[in-house]
Chain A
Amino acid sequence: MTKARTVSSLVLAAILTACAINVVSAQGAPFGVSHAAPVSGLTGWIFAKQAEFYRSLSTFIRASKDDGAAMWGLFAISFLYGAFHAVGPGHGKAVISSYLVANQETWRRGVVLSFVSAGIQSVVAIIVVAIAAVFLGATATAIGLTVHVIEIVSYGLVILIGLRLLYVKGRAFLIACRELTWREAPVATVASGFGGKSFQLLGHRAGAMAMRAGQCQFEGCAGHPHGFHCEHHQDYHESAWSHAHGPEPAELAGAGGWRRGLSAVVAVGLRPCSGAIIVLIFALAQDLFWTGVGATLLMGLGTAMTVAAIATIAVSARQVADRIARTRAGFGMLAMRAIEVGAAAGIVVFGALLLVGYMATEQLWMFTR
């Protein structure tokens, strides 16, 4: 048991470390850590493809000026571009996935939230271009600035949501921690007691535990360490999955749960994609604003598919972990809480990195600031 636990904690530590490292390395090592770049063929192919789709967008938009049928080609390419592009930075994959993991969300809700966030993203892009470019005739500088302000608000909200989650989950973790030591001690005490050692040798706290163990015996655990353990096991499950550990699944499924989920996707979705803004303005310049709107919405649909797929993987991973955790009473529980804390911390880190610009790779304002 001890060995299994050690291995488990090592694996967990490895996961959390990997997450942390990935956050850092993904930003091109902002903290100055030099590392060999892992080169993935798949990622590279996706990047090449999405660049190809993006470049063909302008051809399709021009073509649809004279030929209505070309519009369908444009929509198809827009959808593909959205799906491939969403693999890159931004688009809330990381934040949404972390949120789902931290909050024990179902995959169905993960999919819905992914679609809502991508939808908001498209609509924000359309609204910004409609108001700024169509009605106000604003310049690229003004639009870039607007997008930048929206980005800052969005990242700020992401950090706030992450901090709130971190507080809730951190507390749950500490409670789980305390409960675990509370449970562990009597077993140890009784075991050592049976081993012929005196209770007095143990500290004050352990003495209290021994008292508890004694009580248990009165309650008919027959003084047998296994019977004793069994009774506690049941008690443990009740407490672990029902109180003091954040919202229950049932509670999450309620209206309040949805509201919380929506606040997260709104925060993420606020930030419009630079590609969508450029496509919309290009379409507007060709007097094809509505075609641009259609293309943007389809890009959003493509993005939603990718984000939903990744969110589903996240939720499944969490569910597998959950199932394992249930079979490993004490430590499994703690591990799940730790994963939640890690995910919540991940949201804060992502938000902070985005805010300070390490991840802002789509500098729409580069030439026009």
Chain B
Amino acid sequence: MTLTAAWRRTGCAVLMLWLIVGRAEAHPHVWVTFHSELLYAADGSMAAVRHAWTFDDMFSAYALQGMPHAKKGQYTREELAPLAQTNVDSLKEYRYFTFARADGKKLKFSDPVDYWLEYRNPALVLHFTLPLKAPIAAKALQIEVYDPSIFVDFEFAKDRPVSVNGAPQCVATYDLPHQPTPAEQLRLSQLDSAPLDASSTYGETFANKILVKCP
């Protein structure tokens, strides 16, 4: 073994080691099954998204820890009010994991209204409504729900994941994403730092995407 080769081999070993050691990807500790309802105003413009997010049982137990309640195994909406407040407050930082586009243009949401928690043993369900800053009438509307950091794993509810309220002329479809492959999950986790360019269609392959088409 020549010295150069030896160095190269060491280099490889160290490199491999650092690849193993240094990989820091998120992994979910919270699973959310969600239902979204799109609220339309009388004039035919989309005004808000009403979410119902069901947390997984382990995270629900964690979130409920120490919450005072009168009856064992039961929590009323009033008892859960402070927790609901905390939830929506802390979700602001993550933009409610809800990203909307109308005819290709990004839309902005205001702070949530009409929020509460419901306990359906063994899971917590967070209800909240996200009003659009400016209601919009669009031919094609797209709403995505996901966590770029994958700390939270979002999944469409099995039955009736999407519904439209107040616009019978519009048709909502959703892309039931295939279970993202690990490779896609990795890419997904890097969206913040390495955003997709405008022409990329990569997102369409995995996102929890809701599409509303109006005449």
Chain A residues engaging chain B, CB cutoff 8 angstroms:
4, 7-8, 11-12, 14-15, 18-19, 22-23, 25-30, 32-37, 39-41, 43-45, 47-48, 50-51, 54-55, 57-58, 85, 87-89, 93-94, 97, 133, 137-143, 274-275, 277-279, 281-282, 284-286, 310, 313-314, 316-317, 320-321, 324, 327-328, 339, 359, 361-369
**A54, B29: Cβ atoms under 8 Å?**
yes
Interface size on B, residues (CB 8 A): 61
Contact between B66 and A138 (Cβ–Cβ < 8 Å)? yes
* In-complex Cβ contact of A274 among B4, B11, B29, B87 (8 A): B29
Residue of A27, A87, A286, A365 touching B90 (CB-CB under 8 A): A365
User: Measured between alpha carbons, how far is A323 from B187 in the docked complex, in Å?
Assistant: 39
B137 on interface, CB distance cutoff 8 Å: no
Shortest beta-carbon distance, B35 to chain A, in Å? Answer: 18
Partner of B7, one of A28, A57, A324: A324
Q: List 13 A-B contacts (CB under 8 A).
A: A8-B3, A27-B24, A43-B186, A57-B58, A89-B25, A133-B65, A137-B66, A142-B66, A275-B29, A313-B20, A324-B6, A324-B7, A361-B26
Q: Tell me how far the C-beta of A228 lies from the nearest C-beta in chain B, rounded to whole angstroms.
A: 23
B113 within 8 A of A: no
> Does B3 lie within 8 Å of A324, measured CB to CB?
yes
> Does B13 belong to the interface (CB within 8 Å)?
yes
When A and B form their complex, which 9 residue pairs have the shortest distance between CB atoms, in order from nearest? A44-B182, A139-B66, A89-B24, A22-B22, A361-B26, A29-B193, A285-B61, A28-B193, A317-B13
Q: Is the CB of A320 within 8 A of B190?
A: no
Shortest CB–CB separation between residue A179 and chain B, in angstroms?
20
CB distance from A19 to the nearest CB of B (A): 5
Within 8 A of A (CB), among B9-50: 9-11, 13-31
Contact B25 A88 (CB under 8 A): yes
Interface centre among B28, B29, B59, B186 (most CB of A within 10 A): B29
Most chain B CB within 10 A, of A88, A279, A282, is at A282
Q: Answer whether A47 and B7 are a contact pair too, CB < 8 Å, given A362-B151, A367-B63.
A: no
Least Cβ–Cβ distance between B82 and chain A, in angstroms: 9
Instruction: Give B contacts to A, CB under 8 Å.
Output: 3-4, 6-11, 13-31, 56-59, 61-67, 83, 86-87, 89-91, 94, 149, 151-153, 181-183, 185-187, 189-190, 192-195
List chain A residues, Cβ under 8 A from B7: 7-8, 11-12, 324
Nearest B residue (CB) for A88: B27
Find chain B residues with CB under 8 A from A310 CB. 17, 20-21
Q: Are the CB atoms of B18 and A18 closer together than 8 Å?
A: yes
Q: Are B24 and A361 in contact (CB under 8 A)?
A: yes
B192 closest partner in A (C-beta) = A28
Are B10 and A324 in touch, CB under 8 angstroms? yes
Contact B29 A314 (CB under 8 A): no
Main secondary structure of the interface of A (DSSP, over half): helix
Q: Pick from B9, B27, B149: contact of A47, CB below 8 A.
A: B27
- Closest residue to B89 on the A side, CB-wise? A369
Q: Please, how many angstroms separate the alpha-carbon atoms of A209 and B87 in the complex?
A: 72
Q: Which residues of B contact A35 (CB under 8 A)?
A: 194
Q: Which residues of A contact B87 (CB under 8 A)?
A: 367-368
* A55 to B89 alpha-carbon distance, docked (Å): 27
Which residues of A sit under 8 angstroms from B10, Cβ to Cβ? 11, 15, 317, 320-321, 324
Residues A143 and B65 in contact in the complex (CB < 8 Å), given A324-B6, A361-B24, A367-B90: yes
Q: Among A37, A51, A327, which residue has its beta carbon within 8 angstroms of that of B186?
A: A37
B65, A26: Cβ atoms under 8 Å?
no
CB distance from B209 to the nearest CB of A (A): 21
How far, in whole Å, are A317 and B15 apart by their CA atoms in the complex? 10
* Bound form: Cα–Cα A368–B6 in Å: 52
What's the Cα separation between A249 and B34 when bound, in Å?
Answer: 58
Decide yes or no: A29 and B194 within 8 Å by CB, A278-B62, A367-B87 being known contacts.
yes
Kindly list chain A residues whose C-beta atoms are within 8 Å of the C-beta of B14.
Answer: 15, 18-19, 317, 321, 339
Closest chain-A Cβ to B68's Cβ sits at a distance in Å of: 9
Min CB–CB distance A29 → chain B (angstroms):
4
**Contact A94/B190 with A138-B66, A368-B90 known, Cβ cut-off 8 Å:** no
Known: A54-B29, A89-B24, A324-B6. A361 touches B149 (CB 8 A): yes
Known contacts A37-B190, A47-B182, A85-B27: A138-B22 contact under CB 8 Å? no
Q: In the docked arrangement, what's the CA distance between A152 and B189, Å? A: 24
Chain A residue contacts of B4, Cβ below 8 A? 4, 7-8, 11
| A157 and B95 alpha carbons, distance in the complex (Å) | 33
Alpha-carbon distance A29/B31, docked complex (angstroms): 26
B11 and A277 within 8 A (CB): no
- Closest chain-B Cβ to A4's Cβ sits at a distance in Å of 6
Q: With A28-B192, A362-B29 as known contacts, state yes or no: A367 contacts B61, CB within 8 Å.
A: no
Is there contact, CB below 8 Å, between B56 and A50?
Answer: no
> How distant is A224 from chain B, measured CB to nearest CB, in Å?
25
- Beyond A15-B14, A139-B65, A281-B65, is A26–B23 a contact (Cβ under 8 Å)? yes
Q: Given A8-B7, A43-B25, A57-B58, is A285 in contact with B65 using a C-beta cutoff of 8 Å?
A: yes
